[in-house]
A = this chain, B = another copy of it.
Amino acid sequence: MTVLTGPPRTFSVSEVAVDSGVAPSAVRFYDTHGVINAVRTAGNQRRFDSSAACRIQVAKLAQRAGLSVREIAALFADLSADPTPDEWADVARRLVTEVEERVRDLKAQLAAMESGTRLCEIGRDDPAR
């Protein structure tokens, strides 16, 4: 069911900027690159739903964890306006899967370094010295 709720509030670029903690120019950038989605007023101004600031907050943290804006936009692509917790859960699952894989790969390489077994130096074949 859908709870009765007034006409959904919209947000201007600078409102989303404040709510998400990035510069207005960055909000426009994320719109251009599909991280958030704007509708336009009759006068061509962007209006965002309330999920825009949330998306940007997640996107910034995902970037810090190694994902590109393009990758993040792709992950957000099947998120509706004002996404449900379920939709977020689905995005979260894929996002976490991806970053954990990257961390796993890094850890595995580091473990090889620590083991001192020269696993990474396969190329350096010593026998001929």
Q: Is A40 an interface residue (CB 8 A)?
A: no
CB <8 Å contact, A99 and B88: no
- Could you tell me if A106 and B99 are in contact, using CB atoms closer than 8 angstroms? yes
Asked if A69 lies at the interface with its beta carbon under 8 angstroms from chain B, I say: no
> A43 to chain B: which residues have CB within 8 Å?
none
A100 contacts partner chain B, Cβ-Cβ < 8 Å: yes
Asked whether A85 is an interface residue with its Cβ less than 8 Å from the other chain, the reply is: yes
Nearest CB of B to A54, in Å: 4
B129 near A113 with CB under 8 A, answer no
- B57 and A120 within 8 A (CB): yes
| A58 contacts the other chain (CB 8 A) | yes
Taking CB atoms, residues of chain B closer than 8 Å to A95 are 106, 110
Judge whether A39 is part of the interface by a CB distance below 8 angstroms. Answer: no
The 8 closest A-B pairs by CB, nearest first: A85-B116, A66-B66, A19-B123, A88-B113, A92-B110, A61-B106, A54-B120, A65-B102
